[in-house]
Amino acid sequence: MGAKVVTHIERVDAATIAGLAQAGVATVHEAQGRTGLLASHMRPIYSGARIAGSAVTISAPPGDNWMIHVAIEQLKEGDILVLSPTSPCEDGYFGDLLATSAMARGCIGLVIDAGVRDVRDLTQMGFPVWSKTVFAQGTVKATLGSVNVPVVCAGVMVNPGDVIVADDDGVCIVPRETAVAVLEKAREREANEEAKRARLRAGELGLDIYNMRGRLAELGLRYE
């Protein structure tokens, strides 16, 4: 159970990842059976980012960001760092220097169930972060953690190489093994929604489109 770094992880192909980014969090979450959503306290530091990438995971002690340096060496182009502290923490593990380093190694974003700082700089750099809070509190480099091991982040199991999808709605995890199938379902869902959107926009009611009136009456809904 000691501290370790797994240097080789499997990743999903780039096209699938791009497709999941384009589908977005809500659609992907639905497409995989309403699973994979990180807790609602995970919010973006700025609006409008919409990304997907392979998870490089970090299990770090509270208030200790040493392992982020270790993780950055493991990054490949298009990866997303995912940090889960070993106990609840709000400290600012990550700021503009680490973002500079991570971006230089291909990283496109950070998901952290703790705090982040230098958010003005990160915004200007276009480096999106989904975090529990914004907090400038500094951290130490004293205790080991692990990189690329399974972690539970904000209530969801994340394995290294899983696809992270993140946008203004939050963050959703797609297990590596099912990513292709989930993308397919997401596309079906989108196609299906497009037709419904047009009918709803025209003023048709969901009650009619989805044939709900019968079941509502059967369950006893009364109109007064």
Closest C-alpha to 30, from 183, 176, 142: 183
Regarding 155 and contact with a copy of itself (CB under 8 A), the answer is yes
The upper half-sphere exposure of residue 213, i.e. CA atoms within 13 Å in the direction of its Cβ, equals 6
Closest C-alpha to 63, from 134, 142, 176, 3: 142
**CB-wise, 15 or 216, nearer to a copy of itself?**
216
Closest C-alpha to 135, from 87, 89, 90: 90
Regarding 118 and contact with a copy of itself (CB under 8 A), the answer is yes
**CB-wise, 18 or 135, nearer to a copy of itself?**
135
**CB-wise, 16 or 159, nearer to a copy of itself?**
159
- Site for a copy of itself, residues 30 to 89, rule: CB under 8 A: 30, 32-35, 37, 39-40, 43, 47-48, 50, 61-64, 66, 69-70, 72-73, 86-89
Regarding 5 and contact with a copy of itself (CB under 8 A), the answer is yes
Of 15, 77, 188, 205, the one binding a copy of itself (CB under 8 A) is: 205
Binding marks (x or -) toward a copy of itself, 87..106, rule CB under 8 A?
xxxxxx--xxxx-xx-xxx-
**CB-wise, 82 or 98, nearer to a copy of itself?**
98
Of 137, 180, 187, 190, the one binding a copy of itself (CB under 8 A) is: 137
In the complex, the smallest distance separating the C-beta of residue 39 from a copy of itself, rounded to whole angstroms, is: 7
Q: Count Cβ atoms within 10 A of the Cβ of residue 137 and give its class: 0-12 exposed, 13-18 middle, 19 or more buried.
A: middle
Contact 106, 75 (CB under 8 A): yes
Number of residues that bind a copy of itself (CB under 8 A): 94
- Site for a copy of itself, residues 173 to 202, rule: CB under 8 A: 193, 196-197, 200-202
Cβ neighbours, 10 Å, residue 22: 16
Task: For residue 20, give every residue at least 6 positions away whose Cβ sits within 8 Å of its Cβ, in sequence order, or none.
Answer: 28, 52, 163, 165, 174, 179, 182, 183, 186
